[in-house]
């Protein structure tokens, strides 16, 4: 224990974590797995033992896949707000939006809009744009449709709903 604490030696921390794990001292094991940079092992153990707060804090250090797995975990447990946060961190905007709409968590829709960017998956951009179209927020929809490369639909929205087109949008739509 002292060796791990004093030196931050990953191997020592990992071996100690395994010992705590085998003894059933899961919280200590999770902390040591994290210190050993074994985040996915720590999160798996936290999920198996329902240590939700540990999952939320550990995912900050995890990969996109770990975040999406945590999102699925929370969704299955009915913790929709935590699931949405995990899907946002994992950049699955479509899934985050679907949950936000289904459970009427409208504050998250604004957050999704703020976090989604032009580098997101075009399918996610279109899904969020569709939500805006259904809710008569055509300016937002046009921006996302252009970012996704769906120019015809973006122009059609501009014409049908009198959405002003700025110079930046025109440059993106017109062929070079």
Spell out the alpha helix ranges (H) of 9-150: 10-23, 26-35, 39-48, 52-58, 64-77, 80-89, 93-102, 106-115, 122-134, 138-148
State the pTM of this model.
Answer: 0.77
**Per-residue pLDDT, 1:** 60
**Per-residue pLDDT, 113:** 78
**Per-residue pLDDT, 54:** 94
Give the separation between CA 124 and CA 118, rounded to whole angstroms. 10
**Per-residue pLDDT, 51:** 95
**Per-residue pLDDT, 101:** 86
Which residues in the chain land under pLDDT 70? Answer: 1, 118, 175-176
**Per-residue pLDDT, 175:** 67
Give the separation between CA 47 and CA 14, rounded to whole angstroms. 19
**Per-residue pLDDT, 109:** 83
Locate 68 and state its tokens.
């999406």
Residue pLDDT, tens place only, 131-163: 889 989 898 899 889 888 899 999 999 999 999
């Amino acid at each position: 224990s002292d060796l791990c604490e004093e030196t931050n030696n990953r191997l020592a921390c990992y071996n100690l974590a395994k010992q705590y794990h085998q003894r059933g001292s899961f919280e200590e094991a999770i902390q040591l797995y994290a210190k050993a940079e074994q985040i996915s092992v720590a999160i798996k153990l936290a999920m198996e033992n329902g240590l939700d707060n540990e999952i939320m804090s550990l995912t900050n250090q995890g990969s996109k896949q770990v975040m999406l797995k945590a999102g699925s975990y929370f969704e299955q447990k009915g913790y929709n707000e935590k699931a949405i946060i995990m899907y946002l961190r994992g950049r699955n905007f479509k899934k985050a939006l679907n949950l936000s709409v289904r459970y009427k968590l409208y504050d998250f829709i604004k957050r999704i809009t703020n976090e989604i960017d032009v580098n997101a998956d075009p399918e996610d951009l279109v899904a969020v744009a569709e939500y805006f179209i259904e809710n008569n927020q055509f300016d937002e929809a046009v921006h996302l449709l252009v970012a996704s490369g769906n120019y015809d639909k973006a122009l059609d929205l501009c014409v049908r709903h009198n959405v002003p087109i700025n110079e930046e949008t025109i440059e993106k739509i017109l062929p070079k």
